[in-house]
Amino acid sequence: MKKSAVNHIISLILNTCMILFSLTCIYPIIWILSSSLKVKREFNADIISLPENPTLINFQKIITNPDYHILASLGNSFLTTSISVFFIALFGFIVGYLLARVRFRGNKMIGILLLMGMLIPIHSLLVPIYVVFNRTGLSNHWYTLIFPYIAFGLPIAVFLVQGYVKEISIELEEAAAIDGCGFSRTMFQIIMPICRPVMIAIAIIEAFNCWNEFPFALVLLKDARLHTVPLAMTQFTGQFSSDYPQIMAAMLITMAPIVILYFAFNKLIIKGMVAGAVKG
C-alpha cells in the first residue's frame, strides 16, 4: 500500500543518515590507522588510499627515539590515572555514603562545598594551583597530578554515589545493625558491593578524564620524563611536522589504551553513562 512504501523510503533515508553519522565519527581514526602504516612518500602521494605495503616502521621509529619518552609517558599516565581513579572511587563512596545516610553537623555544608567545585571552571585555578604547588614543593613529581585529579573528580563521584545510595532500602542497614554489624563493616562489606554499578560508572568516567587531562599537566609538570600522554603529544608536531604518518603513529600509540578500553568495555561504559545521566 502506498503509505507503507512512503514509510519504507523514509526509513531508508533515516537509516542512511544514521550510518553516515556513525561513519564520520569513526572515519578519522581509520584514516589515521591506515596512514600510519604508510611511509611518508606513499602518504604524500595519495592520502586516502589503503597502504600497499603496510609497514610498522613509523611505530618503530617513535618507540626507539630517545628524545621522545613515549613509553615513559604511557607509564606516567597509567600510574597517575589508576591511582587517581582508585581514590576518587573510594573517597567518593565514603563521602557519598556519609552524606546520604548520616546526619551530622556540617553535612549540608560539605554538600554545598562539593557542589561549588563542580561549577568552578578549573582554568581559573591554573595560576593559584601553580603557585601553591610550587611553594609547597609538590610540583614536578610523579605524584603531583594525583592531588588535583582526585580533588576535581570527587564532587561528581560523591554526587553519583549519594543519588544511588538514597535508592537503597534502609532496612538493609537496619537488619545489619540488629545482627550486630558495626558502622564501618556495614558500609564496606554490605553497601559497597551493592554500589558496584555506580562505582564502575565513576571509575570509567574519571579514567577517561584523568588520562586526557591537559592544562594542569601542562602547568604542574616541567620534567619531560614526567610528562603524561597529552603533554607528550604536543612535542610531536615540533620536530616531525612534515611527516604525517609518523605523527599519526605517535598519536595512535598514545590513543591505543583508550581505544582498547572503550571498545572492550563499551557496553559497560554506555550503561554507566546512562545510569549517570538519568540520576543527574
Partner 1 sequence: MGSRKPKAAIIVAYLFVPMALYVFSVFIPLLTSVFYSFFEWKGGPNKTFVGLENYIMLLYDKEFWQAFQHNIYLVVLCVIGQVGIAFVLVMVMNSKGTKFKDMHRTFGFFPSTISHVAIGFIWTMIYDSRRGLLNWCLTAVGLGDKTQVWLNNPKLVMTLVAIPLIWQYIGYYMLILLSATSSIDNQILESAELDGVNGFQKAVYIVMPMIKNTILICLVLCVAGNMKVFDNIFVMTKGGPGNASMVTALYGYIVSFKQQNMGYGSAISVGIFVLGILLVGSIQLLVKLFSKEGIGNEEKCC
**54 CB neighbour count, 10 Å cutoff:** 10
Q: Are 249 and 58 in contact (CB under 8 A)?
A: yes
Q: Kindly tell me which of 6 and 56 has the beta carbon lying closer to partner 1.
A: 6
Q: Kindly tell me which of 25 and 66 has the beta carbon lying closer to partner 1.
A: 25
| Selected binder of partner 1 within 165, 229, 249, 253 (CB under 8 A) | 229
Report, in Å, the least distance between residue 205 CB and partner 1. Answer: 10
**Any contact of residue 1 with partner 1 (CB under 8 A)?**
no
CA–CA distance, 55 with 232 (Å, rounded to integer): 24
Report, in Å, the least distance between residue 276 CB and partner 1. Answer: 9
CA distances from 168 to 7, 16, 21, 181, 194 (A): 45, 43, 39, 18, 9
Stretch that binds partner 1, among 50-58, 63-71, 78-86, 251-259 (CB under 8 A): 251-259
Q: Are 210 and 197 in contact (CB under 8 A)?
A: no
Q: Are 145 and 213 in contact (CB under 8 A)?
A: yes
Report, in Å, the least distance between residue 88 CB and partner 1. Answer: 9
| Selected binder of partner 1 within 100, 202, 233, 249 (CB under 8 A) | 233
57: cell is: 616502521
Report, in Å, the least distance between residue 226 CB and partner 1. Answer: 17
CA–CA distance, 143 with 146 (Å, rounded to integer): 6
218: cell is: 601542562
CA–CA distance, 95 with 38 (Å, rounded to integer): 51
Stretch that binds partner 1, among 52-60, 61-69, 78-86, 265-273 (CB under 8 A): 265-273
Q: Are 231 and 221 in contact (CB under 8 A)?
A: yes
Q: Are 199 and 89 in contact (CB under 8 A)?
A: yes
Which of 221, 54, 242 has the alpha carbon at shortest distance from 143? 221
With contacts defined by CB under 8 A, how many residues of the chain interact with partner 1? 91
Site residues for partner 1, 51-90, by CB under 8 A, read none
From residue 164 to residue 203, the character string flagging contacts with partner 1 as x (rule: CB under 8 A) and all else as - is ---------xx--x-----xx-x-----------------
Distance of CA 272 to the CA centre of its chain: 13
Site residues for partner 1, 29-48, by CB under 8 A, read 29, 31-32, 43-44, 47-48
**Any contact of residue 214 with partner 1 (CB under 8 A)?**
yes
Q: Kindly tell me which of 23 and 50 has the beta carbon lying closer to partner 1.
A: 23
Site residues for partner 1, 98-127, by CB under 8 A, read 98, 102-104, 110, 113-114, 117, 119-127
| Selected binder of partner 1 within 33, 42, 147, 163 (CB under 8 A) | 147
| Selected binder of partner 1 within 37, 89, 150, 191 (CB under 8 A) | 150
CA distances from 195 to 59, 166, 208 (A): 41, 11, 20
**Any contact of residue 94 with partner 1 (CB under 8 A)?**
yes
